[in-house]
Amino acid sequence: MKKTIAFIGVSFVAIFAYVPLVHASSYNQGKYNENVPYGSATYIAISTDGDVSLAVTPTSSGSQVTGTSTVTVTSTDVVGHKLYLRSEPSTDMDNLGDVLPTSGNVSPAPLAINTWGYNTDGSNNFVGSSLTDTLIRSLTGPAMYGDITTITYGVKVDLAKPAGNYTTSIVYTAVPDID
């Protein structure tokens, strides 16, 4: 009998772009020759290509599948921006009470059986998600035409995991770099 677990995996229910109070620089204190008109207000915007859906047919030794999400940050901030990722309200994927925990990996490594994780390099090494913001991208300078980050999500399950739709929510946050 073939058992398929459908992961309606990672839902992006909240996307934030935090813009602090912005003041103009004093004369001779700004950055010159930047692609932003001097004295203009800056902006930051964030978008994603939608939810990641994964379907896996588990095996006794564990089957792994991956899917990607693309996040685009557009900003005229001449200093740059930072992009963060976090889980909310839990790091577990849930299937009506059956849970698939996030990976215990704090540095990129292969997934253990019956866990999920993410990476930003497209490899087969993943880290676990956190309830606190984790920096996944930092860019110096404006991103007027969009700075694209691809996040790869991975799930590895065996036959012990009940079939169903396991879901979790991920929050991406983009902030102007003020350092």
Identify the residue with better confidence: 48 or 15.
Answer: 48
- Mean pLDDT, rounded, for 97-124: 97
129 assigned to some structural domain: yes
Q: Is the sign of the CA dihedral 123, 129, 130, 133 positive or negative?
A: positive
Count of structural domains, the chain? 1
Identify the residue with better confidence: 123 or 7.
Answer: 123
Identify the residue with better confidence: 27 or 85.
Answer: 85
Range scoring the smallest mean pLDDT among 19-28, 79-88, 107-116, 136-145? 19-28
33 in Cβ contact with 26 (< 8 Å) = no
Q: Report the DSSP beta bridge partners of residue 109.
A: 126
Q: Give per-residue pLDDT as tens, 54-77.
A: 999 999 999 999 999 999 999 988
Residue type, 105: N
Q: Quote the domain boundaries for residue 48.
A: 5-21+40-176
35 assigned to some structural domain: no
148 assigned to some structural domain: yes
31 assigned to some structural domain: no
166 assigned to some structural domain: yes
- For the record, the structure tokens of 117 come out as 């994780």
CA-based nearest residue to 108, from 97, 93, 123, 89: 123
Does the pLDDT of residue 28 top 70, yes or no? no
What does pTM read for this prediction? 0.82
100 in Cβ contact with 160 (< 8 Å) = no
Q: Report the DSSP beta bridge partners of residue 137.
A: 83
DSSP, res 178: -
103 assigned to some structural domain: yes
Burial of 32 (0-12, 13-18, 19+ CB in 10 A): exposed
> The domain spanning residue 81 has which CATH number?
2.60.40
Which pLDDT score, from 0 to 100, does residue 106 have? Answer: 97
10 assigned to some structural domain: yes
CA-based nearest residue to 124, from 148, 150, 153: 153
59 assigned to some structural domain: yes
